[in-house]
Structure 1
Amino acid sequence: MDTKPFIIKKITLRASNISVMRNFYENLLQFHVISETDSSVSYAFRENEEAFLTLEFGGRLRKKNTAGLFHYAILFPDVSSKATIVDRIIKNNYPIGAGDHLVSESFYINDPEGNGIELYHDRDSTEWIWEDGKVKMGTLPVDVQALLDQKNNHLDYPKNMKIGHLHFTGNSIAKSDEFFNELLNTDLVSFVGDTAHFYSQNHYHHHFATNIWEGENINKRNLLENGILKWELEVSKDYYDSISQRIIEKGIPFKDDENSISIEDHVGSKLILFKKI
């Protein structure tokens, strides 16, 4: 089955504090406003590009221990642009963490309402180690100064920026496997014991992950609270048709438009699948 393309196009977050959230995304991260209303704002990495992130305001504070988004991961096509935004974050004294995952090098921040953001750059895929269909990943220290030595003089997001993967907080690895492997037909490519599974298409190190580190008794996503509302994929016609058929066969409630179909995901937010035209 042809699975290409497989693109994470956009995520939408429910938010509440308009001024604080806009200050973070527009002044610290310097994303470009593509469109806005009284109750929402959409961002792209560069002017005249499609939005990859929308904030819909009017949310309320999220209760602890609920399923949802662990982080969304922004993939940089080069090291220098990633180093430049990391340098900016550090100079603004904004909390940041880091990890070398063997397949990639990542930095981690949270936005003001607790949505995790990973800023990462892939190592060449020829350096990824695959054994029996699983890719080797880990978490090692990062040489931050070596990275910062590669920064540019000013922040200018390059072409081909995108959301590289999404990592969810769930309440069941079995439900996650059912959603990603059985419904979306992804491959299980890595795991952390019985507490986190990683999934991919097209032999990528991972497009999705779910962990149960908050426990298995947490409630599913409340869409009125701050956090992820929906995420959008663009896929090939063959892949789209096969998923649509499985949704119908499994009796999963869905909304069907001409070239898109939407369903509830495994944590309670919405997945919208678009067919590549």
Structure 2
Amino acid sequence: MTNASPSDGSLTDDTHLGRVALRVGSLDRVVPFYRDVVGLEAERERDGSRAVLSAGETPVVVLDEDPDAPERGRREAGLFHLAVRVPDRGALGDVLSRARTRATDAGATLSGASDHLVSEALYFRDPEGNGVEVYYDRPREEWPWTDDRRVSMDTLALDLGSLADDAAGGDRAPDGTDLGHVHLEVTNVPRSRDFYVDALGMRVRDEGYPSASFVAAGEYHHHVGLNSWNTRSAPAGEGRGIEWFEVVVPDAATLDAVRESLVDGGHEFDEGGFGGDEPGDGDAAGAAGATDSLVISDPDGIEIRVVHGR
């Protein structure tokens, strides 16, 4: 397959997200939710100050503990929610079943449940207030497509009784679970949208919601959501919340195209190799199994790691 470069219009469908990292005040407080409700396996690293949460061999969420990190400022840009994608409706039903029996003990709340036409989703707040969506995608042939090959998403009520009936009975997130998208609160939606489209090579997929834009590589419904619903007016800070997320491209040629686009657009970025103390904190490429990486901040200071080789 020949991959389109950003200057050609967009990344292709074989680009996906890798991991998302959150800065948290206490791993002991936060890990039980991701382990016992979402169903991810937890492994401690860095002398216990980091937890990597995975589904089988796929790392999904990284939690870095910093007891001194302040809460995110009310005006600061940052995470609206991260979205863990499970492979089917039965797995989502299992999350609902676990939530009903374990969420309270894990210090989390089920805050919503929606049918988005392209997907069905459950929404949570983790014990430190980070938004977490768990969802599965309907088959693409069932998605509502527009004449220009965008998608039409909506927010409808989800039948929790039907979802519970379809639970598969699993206690862990199954193979095929990964990070489907991140949804960010930004200070200026058009500016952020233009960055993800013009600099990184994503496409606008849906702008049917007020004050929001959804962009993706290829024809996915969205890899990054952007909204200004809560009127954030300051860039992301050093408090709790999102640290970085990964965009995984399929090959070195695609990474080179992104690099060229960043240079042409006058965007500053760092480059990292495999492991070592590289820009961004050194393990972006190594821990993802990548052989090269670009580290860049979006217009609100949220770090993005573009990697390949996974």
Q: TM-score, normalised by structure 1?
A: 0.92
CA displacement, residues 111-154 of structure 1 (integer Å, 9 cap, x when unaligned):
11111111111111111121123211101111100110011334
Q: Deviations over 1:197-249 (max 9, x none)?
A: 0111221111111000011x521101x20000011121033321111001112
Tell me if 1:162 matches 2:170: no
Query: 1:231 aligns to what?
Result: 245
Structure 1: how far apart are the matches of 2:136 and 2:33? 22
Partner Cα separation in structure 2 for residue 207 and residue 178 of structure 1: 15
SS in 1 for 2:244: strand
149-158 or 164-173: which moved more? 149-158
Alignment partner for residue 14 of structure 1, among 23, 48, 55? Answer: 23
| Counterpart-to-counterpart distance in 2, 1:117 and 1:193 | 20
The residue matched to 1:242 in structure 2 has which SS?
Answer: helix
- The normalised TM-score by structure 2 is 0.83
- Tell me which residue corresponds to 1:129: 144
Shift of the 18–156 alpha-carbon distance from structure 1 to 2, 3 Å rule, reads closer
Q: Equivalent residue for 2:258?
A: 243
Q: Gaps (5+ residues) in structure 2?
A: 4-11, 274-291
Query: 2:290 matched to 1:257?
Result: no
CA shift for structure 1 position 190: 0.6
User: Are 2:117 and 2:143, in contact at CA under 8 Å, matched by a contact in 1?
Assistant: yes
Please list every run of 5 or more consecutive structure 1 residues that lacks an aligned counterpart in the other structure. Answer: none
Give the counterpart letter for 1:62 in structure 2.
R
Match of 2:283 in 1: none
- For residue 114 of structure 1, what is the aligned residue in structure 2? 129
Query: Cα RMSD over matched residues?
Result: 1.7
1:151-178: CA deviation from partner (whole Å, max 9, x where unpaired)? 1334132211111111100010121122
CA distance in 2, matches of 1:50, 1:126: 26
Between stretches 28-37 and 7-16, larger displacement belongs to 28-37
CA distance in 2, matches of 1:135, 1:175: 21
Q: Do residues 276 (structure 1) and 291 (structure 2) align? A: no
Tell me the distance in 2 between the aligned counterparts of 1:257 and 1:129.
Answer: 39
Identical aligned residues as a percent: 27
Distance 1:145 1:38 in 2: 39
Alignment counterpart, residue 32 of structure 2, candidates 14, 23, 38: 23
The alignment partner of 1:63 has SS state of coil
Structure 2 equivalent of residue 204 of structure 1: 220
- Report how many residues are paired: 273
The residue type equivalent to 1:116 in the other structure is G
Correspondences of 1:7-86 after superposition (within 5 Å)? 7-36=16-45, 37-46=47-56, 49-58=57-66, 59-86=69-96
